A and B are shown apart, each in its own frame.
Chain A
Amino acid sequence: MRRLAQLLVLTLLVSGAEPAAAERLVVSLSNHRVAVTSNFVGEELVLFGTIEPEPTTSALRPPYDLVVTVTGPRQTIRTRRKQRIVGIWVNADSREFVRVPAYLAVLSNRPVNDIANPDMLRRLQIGLDNFLLPQRIGSDVADTVRDDPFRRAFVRLQTQQGLYRESATAVTFLTPTVFRAAVPMPAAVPTGSYGIEVELFTRGALVARTNSALDVIKTGFEQYVADAARDYGLLYGMATALMALLIGWIASLVFARD
């Protein structure tokens, strides 16, 4: 009985740390499975949602701000910097970004810096500047200041490829409580599991959050080829080499006529 009371107190404390629950987010994603087929050139997913009052407290407190953060599967990526050594440009320095998302989109209805104060954004990891991108520095793994040249170069290069993005116009409010967010999936989108974090703010305070998920998968022929290459490397290689010989032979037959 006493243990139960302790548990109850603990639960209350934990929920007390959560945002004041006057609002509830209900979201729905247009598609939970992005199928990469042979004619895949990218896709745009749509996340719809409404802001509902909690049954106990009926008051809604518009205007609202909404931030949607989509994170792709984790990868380790090395960022290298060239330097001139004896007249030649060589990769002199490099940093490893450990377990960072291969895809990262921060979508909001206005610039994230206008939505909440820097401390809160930092704590919630909202925005490309605030998202945790740990680097291996010596034997340590830690995120650096946002002005770190390697961090900036990494984010810039990922953005150039369309894999990282921060858009202050991707979320639109259809009514003060109904919103839609456009989630762009570029053609080079990595396959794997994606997480979607939705955070609702009003007047700079976090009031509700929810999450969703989606999978980017290869299907049909693409899946078959990728599986074969991974699981039966030797056979796959021999088949490819045989294909090369066959095509070479066919060509010489075709061209032997004249």
Chain B
Amino acid sequence: MQIYLPIADLPVNVFLVLGMGLAVGYISGMFGIGGGFLMTPLLIFIGISPAVAVATVSSHIAASSFTGAISYWRKRALDIALALMLLSAGIVGTAIGVWLFTELRALDQLDLMIGLSYVTLLTVVGATMIYESWRAIMRTRHGMPATLRRPGSHTWFHGLPFKLRFKRSKIYVSAIPVWAIGLVIGFLGAIMGIGGGFLLVPMLIYLLRVPTATVIGTSMVLTLVTMASATVMHAATNHLVDAVLALILMVGGVIGAQFGARTGQKMRGERLRLLLGLLVFAVGCRFAYELVVKPDDLYSLRYVRSE
């Protein structure tokens, strides 16, 4: 069944888009990531212009992370204090990011910058996660505890001042690294047009030692707020959010996210991290491939304006 999209200006197959929403929603519910780094390329692939795709995906992510956050909230697997703390820094980071985005755009090499940062971030983060979770799985195989939580295994920033206790996550850390992480996520999110969940999850796990169980729900709250505000900002400035496309994606996305959240909670932490690491790494390689291999068509068109 074809339906015409009023902003994207082209007809799409409803069931295809619904299926895409479902699949990406499942992954996002399972890992607590927005899935923007998966959905945006998919939409561009079916012919939607990159600008409309980026703007519309933000609303889809908002919907699936909201439903995910509610279900983690019910299971008490969400640290609202930590989320609020990250959020306050995230907003500042986003503002800096938006400013730099405009500056870089003037230099006309923004596409390359985005491509290179995608490749670097995704492959490095992916590889690190694969390595770490594989070691954890191997340890459990040999009858040892999966996570090494030795009393003395504190890193340097555990000595920083302004310590806060996050009860739900069972951590006691300085506010400075929490704030720094929020800032970095907000900044990268604005620059790369992503929610940043795939970066936030490993950062919380490895840097702050937040247990995997509460990481996902917390990450979803952050994704929800940034993506909902991104939707409003995109709509107000570029007028490129396609509500019809968003609606179809959302319906698929929320259903997928519900099932994904269930699978995610049943799975063991290190397995989940290994899978997410593999996914992130694979997408990073895909971007690298695109940059390195000679494209089929050297030419491409970009719509500038109507006269």
Q: For window 218-258 of chain A, which residues contact chain B by CB distance below 8 Å?
A: 218, 221-223, 225-226, 229-230, 233-234, 236-241, 243-245, 247-252, 255-256
B92 touches A (CB below 8 Å): no
> Smallest CB–CB gap between B128 and chain A, Å?
23
Interface contact B258-A255, CB-CB below 8 Å: yes
A203 touches B (CB below 8 Å): no
Contacts of A250 in B (CB 8 A): 254
Interface contact B237-A233, CB-CB below 8 Å: yes
Cα distance A236–B244 in the bound complex, in angstroms? 12
Query: What residue in chain B is nearest A40 (Cβ atoms)?
Result: B4
Q: Known contacts A218-B6, A229-B243, A234-B232; is A41 also within 8 Å of B11 by CB?
A: yes
> Smallest CB–CB gap between B88 and chain A, Å?
20
Question: Among A4-12, A54-62, A85-93, A123-131, which stretch is in contact with chain B?
Answer: A85-93
Interface contact B298-A76, CB-CB below 8 Å: no
Bitwise, B226-259 to A at CB < 8 A (1) or not (0) is 0011011111110111111011001100110110
Contacts of B240 in A (CB 8 A): 229
Interface contact B251-A247, CB-CB below 8 Å: yes
Q: Known contacts A233-B239, A234-B235, A244-B246; is A76 also within 8 Å of B307 by CB?
A: yes
Question: Among A16-24, A31-39, A108-116, which stretch is in contact with chain B?
Answer: A31-39
Interface contact A229-B302, CB-CB below 8 Å: no
Chain A interface residue number, banded: 35 or more
The total of chain B residues at the interface (CB under 8 A) is 64
Question: Among B62-70, B142-150, B199-207, B263-271, which stretch is in contact with chain A?
Answer: B62-70
Bitwise, B69-86 to A at CB < 8 A (1) or not (0) is 011001000000000000
Contacts of B299 in A (CB 8 A): 79-82, 150, 153-154, 156-157
Bitwise, A66-100 to B at CB < 8 A (1) or not (0) is 00000001111111111110011111000010010
Contacts of A218 in B (CB 8 A): 6
> Smallest CB–CB gap between B3 and chain A, Å?
5
Interface residues of B (CB under 8 A from A): 2-4, 6-7, 9-11, 47, 59-60, 62-67, 70-71, 74, 109, 111-112, 116, 228-229, 231-237, 239-244, 246-247, 250-251, 254-255, 257-258, 290-295, 297-307
Other contacts beyond A36-B4, A236-B239: 16, CB < 8 A: A37-B4, A41-B2, A41-B11, A76-B307, A77-B302, A78-B304, A79-B300, A82-B295, A88-B112, A229-B242, A237-B232, A238-B232, A238-B235, A244-B250, A248-B62, A248-B65
Can you report 22 A-B residue pairs in the complex whose CB atoms are below 8 A from each other? Answer: A36-B4, A75-B303, A75-B304, A76-B305, A77-B302, A80-B300, A81-B298, A82-B295, A88-B112, A89-B291, A157-B300, A187-B2, A218-B6, A222-B6, A234-B235, A237-B231, A244-B62, A248-B64, A249-B70, A252-B67, A255-B67, A255-B258
